[in-house]
Amino acid sequence: MHPGEWTLDVAALALVPGIGVGYALLARRFRPEPARVACAVAAELLLVAVLATPLHTLATHYLLSAHLLQNVVLAEWAPALLVLSLPAGLAARAERVRAFRVATTPWLALPLWLAVYDTWHVPWLYDAALRHPSSLLLVEHVSYLVCGFLMWWPVFQGRRLSSAGRTAYVFVAFVAASPLGLLLALVPHAVYSTYAHAPRVWLSPLTDQQVAGIAMASEEAIVFFLVFFWAFRGLLDADDS
């Protein structure tokens, strides 16, 4: 398969249109503000970009750095935008469902997200998912999206966390998530056999892994810092009122 080839992930064929249609139907009833609709559109565009373009080919067959970019979109960026896209009325309705309310409890949602994110990066499981793109890799991608959605919920929706609680929650999330990227950048050998033996595109296996780890750690620092700053501003505003 050529690195520039356009391919469709199974999730792109079912998950992305499903999210779009579901949101459109809900929007007819709950009338989200334009900014929330923009968040939904941005999430959809990100999912298409990482699942239905040559980036998916690079991620699956050639470069760890491309795959980690795909992962952060699925586990962090797109879920955050989807949570932000929901109008208050729909969010309140969702929180009345007991199972959903339990799943979005901060003390469950964050550890679950961390456990799923770290577990899928265990080398033997990571390589197994790449060998089975239509089954195990699909499970990986869906689990990232679902657990990311649950993780971001207490930050952007509901009232279970105070401004101080949001600030602490985001800080803990960053501290707990950041070692993975740093570890990949510092390990002196390629840890994933799929990429160690893949046809070379631009980077050697070790350089690819170092670039991937540094990029992942930098991305998390930027994203979580921005959210932390937003939560901290909310804390300051609450103290002033």
Domain ranges of the chain: 10-240
pLDDT at 200: 82
DSSP 5: -
pLDDT in tens, the chain (241 residues): 566 567 766 666 778 888 889 999 988 888 889 999 999 999 999 998 888 888 888 988 889 999 999 999 999 999 999 999 999 889 999 989 999 999 999 999 999 999 999 999 999 999 999 888 778 888 999 999 999 999 999 999 877 788 888 888 988 998 898 888 888 889 889 899 988 888 888 888 899 899 999 988 888 888 888 888 877 777 666 555 5
The one-letter amino acid at 29: R
Residues 241 and 236: their CA atoms lie apart, in Å, by: 9
Task: Compute φ and ψ for 201, nearest 5 degrees.
Answer: -130, 100
Closest C-alpha among 215, 237, 232 to residue 167:
232
Residues 154 and 167: their CA atoms lie apart, in Å, by: 11
Collapsed DSSP state (helix, strand, coil) of residue 199: coil
CB 174 within 8 A of CB 225: yes
